[in-house]
Amino acid sequence: MKKIQMVDLVSQYEKIKPQVQTAIHSILEKAQFINGPDVHEFKGELGSYLGAKHVIPCANGTDALQIAMMALGLKPGDEVITPSYTFIATTEVIGLLRLKPVFVDCEKDTFNISPKAIEAAITARTKAIVPVHLYGQSCDMEAIMKIAEKYDLKVIEDNAQAIGSDYTFSDGTVKKTGTIGDVGCTSFFPSKNLGCYGDGGAICTNDDDLAKQIEMVVNHGQSKRYYHDVIGCNSRLDTIQAAVLRIKLKELDRYIDARRKAAAFYDEQFKDVEGLTIPFRAANTKHVFHQYTLQLSDEIDRDALVAYLGEKDIPAMIYYPVPAHKQKMFASLETSSGILENTDWLTKRVFSLPMHTELEQDQLEYICKSVKEFIEK
Ligand SMILES: *Cc1c(COP(=O)(O)O)cnc(C)c1O
């Protein structure tokens, strides 16, 4: 059996190696490292895949979120409603821009931000909502967009974990995640569902004016060469990364199928195991399984399980052990989050198993057998 990894990027690379090598080599030959043709091609190709009018590539997913908030004109002190149960980048940029993160609870089954909790947290200073499509499935975007409309709030989707997922509205309209709010942000960090071979990110929007603003912000606030209208930053996707992404974008749907197949096998094996709760499939969305995350009942010792799997050479991870509202970085902020019951519970009870595009049947069987051994012993 091949060694089991959380993410097996080497085996994935083996299958696209000739195309990747040709593409990178050609960029080296022409020295088109910045803003080369692949960057422009990729913008168009990702836009058509997602059904987004504008795609603006940038340096990473954290920048994407920061740039989106800058381009929307959010001002220090503005309140931004965000889940606490997410990767820190989502909430960190809110703090960095001196906006005020207002942490709200998630739903215990979907792990995603609770629309009810959002509405309860709205004040006269609330300006935006940042739903995070955690682990690969969409938040309840119909409910969130209704709230946003009712209170005139901007919606910035953190789509770093769910590229390729979608959401079906009650009228039957289907939209890809990241194209539903005012702006969608994604990351091409190597282990993400669409990952490059270094850092990368993108912002997408269907709003022409906002797209113009984002184009300025990513490039030193420049409206025309050497004329800088707003304070911006320097955030670019390298041509080499764009070339890799063009190749991998063609594989994305196949990658998603491979993840969903592995998840279906795990589900089947774990659905009747007492003490384990398999990932809930939220209504109206296609789960693209960035992570396969289980919940453990209170009786099961999570650390001992992870250690047991480690002894068997099975990596397992805890995403995330500390929710944002309990991180030291926010200790000095006056956060009015109160107690986030589901978030606190989940951070103590979840664990994630290996999930990637190259999992083999013998590996999956061995993982499931080992988890069950621990729980049933
Ligand atoms: C990975 C990730 C980010 C940040 O992406 P980087 O490219 O690493 O900056 C933001 N939000 C979420 C939910 C993520 O998983």
Burial class of residue 356, CB neighbours in 10 A (0-12, 13-18, 19+): buried
Distance between CA 226 and CA 224 in Å, rounded?
A: 6
Q: How far is the CA of 297 from the centre of ligand 1 (A)?
A: 28
Contact 356, 118 (CB under 8 A): no
| pLDDT for the residue numbered 334 | 65
Rounded to the nearest angstrom, the distance between the alpha carbon of 111 and the centre of ligand 1 is 17
Tokens of 103: 């942490």
From the number of C-beta atoms within 10 Å of its C-beta (0-12, 13-18, 19+), residue 121 rates as: buried
Residue 52 CA to residue 101 CA, distance in Å, equals 27
Atom of ligand 1 nearest to the CA of 199: 7
Ligand 1 touching residue 91 (CB < 6 A):
no
Specify the pLDDT at position 6.
97
Q: What pLDDT is recorded for position 332?
A: 82
Mean pLDDT per 10-residue segment, the chain (377 residues): 97 98 98 98 98 98 98 97 97 96 96 98 97 98 98 98 98 98 98 98 98 98 96 98 98 98 98 97 96 97 97 97 94 76 97 98 98 93
Ligand 1 atom 2: residue of nearest CA: 160
E strand or H helix at 276, and its extent? strand 276-277
Q: Which atom of ligand 1 has the smallest separation from the CA of 188?
A: 7
Rounded to two decimals, what is the model's pTM? 0.97
- 306 HSE (CA, 13 A, CB side): 17
